[in-house]
Amino acid sequence: MKNFFLALTVSLGVLSGCDSSAGPQVPRRDDHPAGAFLVQLNGHSFHVELADTLQRRRQGLAGRDHLGPDGGMLFVLPAPARMTMWMKGCGIPLDVLFFDHNKRLINFHTMAVGSPGQADHSLPIYPSDKPAKYALKVPAGTSRRLRIRPGAAISFSPELLKALGKGTE
């Protein structure tokens, strides 16, 4: 029962990852945000913002109307759990990639922007197939363009590892 409530809490915290009601709109940025970290996947580097608290996971990329081709957001859970994402309040189509605690890709989805005025309950939910520790949101089509497949490994820069309290690999 304890695991059920943990999973429910994690799902609710992650589910609102693109909820525009969680905070102010973020203006368009053509540069990488201050404090962005590097991650690498399939030989490609991404400059990602970190969503490692409940508040940051809830805000996610809500209110954005632009994300550079190598931009993204890395969602980090305190412990692996089934993750779900949706596109409430997101103005840009995204790929979401779910990774296990070993940083291996579990599965991914391409998420479309909802229709204006679409009811929250009718928005599609995009789940991880197994418990995930990390989710990476990048521009839609990135997974296909880079030919990313389940089992692919993501690596984190030393600065990101330090921010996560993990030291170096």
At 9, which CATH number?
Answer: 2.60.120.1140
Q: Does 168 reside within a domain?
A: no
Query: Which residue range(s) make up the domain with 106?
Result: 2-163
Q: Does 169 reside within a domain?
A: no
Q: What is the DSSP string of the chain?
A: -HHHHHHHHHHHHHHTTT-GGGSPPPPP-SSPPTT-EEEEETTEEEEEEEE-SHHHHHHTTTT-S---TTEEEEEEEEEEE--EE--TT--S-EEEEEE-TTSBEEEEEEEPPPPTT--GGGS--EE-SS-EEEEEEEETTHHHHTT--TT-BEEE-HHHHHHTT----
Q: How many domains does the chain have?
A: 1
Is 27 a residue whose pLDDT tops 50? no
Average pLDDT of every residue of the chain: 84
Q: Does 105 reside within a domain?
A: yes
What is the model's pLDDT at position 18? 57
- 13-17, 18-22, 56-60, 156-160: segment of lowest average pLDDT: 18-22
Is 32 a residue whose pLDDT tops 60? no
